[in-house]
Amino acid sequence: MAGLRSFAVRAAGGCGQRCVVGDGQKGKPMDKPSVRVVRPDQLSDDTPQTPGLVRRVAFDSRNPDAQVLSAFLSTVLPGAATGAHHHGDQETILYVVEGAARYRWGERLEHVVEAGPGDFVFIPAHTVHQEINASADNPTVWVVTRSQPEPIVVNLPELDKFAEPAARDYRHP
């Protein structure tokens, strides 16, 4: 890495399969994906959504660099709660950035745990769950990484009768 001084990426926000790096051999194409940064204004909400939660994607299968993972930012508005859902074969790890997050899971959403800033949460594949913002005043924000790049969300409205009701009602985007 001693000769690596800078790199240029396409204006569209990514390297694709080939990037040009400043490694002392100006303009030499790379055959492998390079390190890529996605800025907050480049996150996309063009992904499956769950009522009560907004997902903004950084990396998924539509990104040529993401081959085995996906990553995004999730926000649950004050007092909001998602419906029951799962993510198929995907394992999910969440890192709570801000707010008070409550998670319910199980066949009837009978289990509950809370997490706060700095906490990691693991959700196994096929686990039916619900995310709740435990605060009626502040949003809950977490970073999410899943074990596959495909954006899988299976909403289960038939199980919402077991879900914790939202303290505030937000319409699905």
Q: What is the pLDDT along the chain (173 residues), one digit of tens a residue?
A: 333 333 333 333 444 444 444 444 455 555 676 788 889 999 988 887 776 788 899 988 877 678 889 899 999 899 999 889 999 999 999 999 999 999 999 999 999 999 999 999 999 999 999 999 999 999 999 999 999 988 888 999 999 999 999 887 766 54
138 found inside a domain? yes
Pair 78, 8 in one domain: no
169 found inside a domain? no
126 found inside a domain? yes
Q: Residue 44 burial by CB count (10 A; 0-12/13-18/19+): exposed, middle or buried?
A: middle
Pair 44, 29 in one domain: no
5 found inside a domain? yes
pLDDT value, residue 87: 93
β-pair type (54-59, 70-76): antiparallel
Per the rule left: phi > 0, alpha: psi between -120 and 50, beta: everything else, 89 is alpha
Pair 14, 87 in one domain: no
97 found inside a domain? yes
The residue type found at 98 is E
Pair 127, 44 in one domain: yes
Pair 65, 135 in one domain: yes
Number of structural domains the chain divides into? 2
Tokens matching residue 101: 């997050």
- CATH code at 127? 2.60.120.10
Contact 115, 95 (CB under 8 A): no
Half-sphere exposure of 8 (CA within 13 A, CB side): 8
Nearest one of 104, 151, 154 to 126, comparing CA atoms: 154
Pair 30, 85 in one domain: no
Pair 3, 85 in one domain: no
Full residue range of the structural domain in which residue 83 is found: 38-162
Pair 95, 138 in one domain: yes
pTM above 0.95, yes or no: no
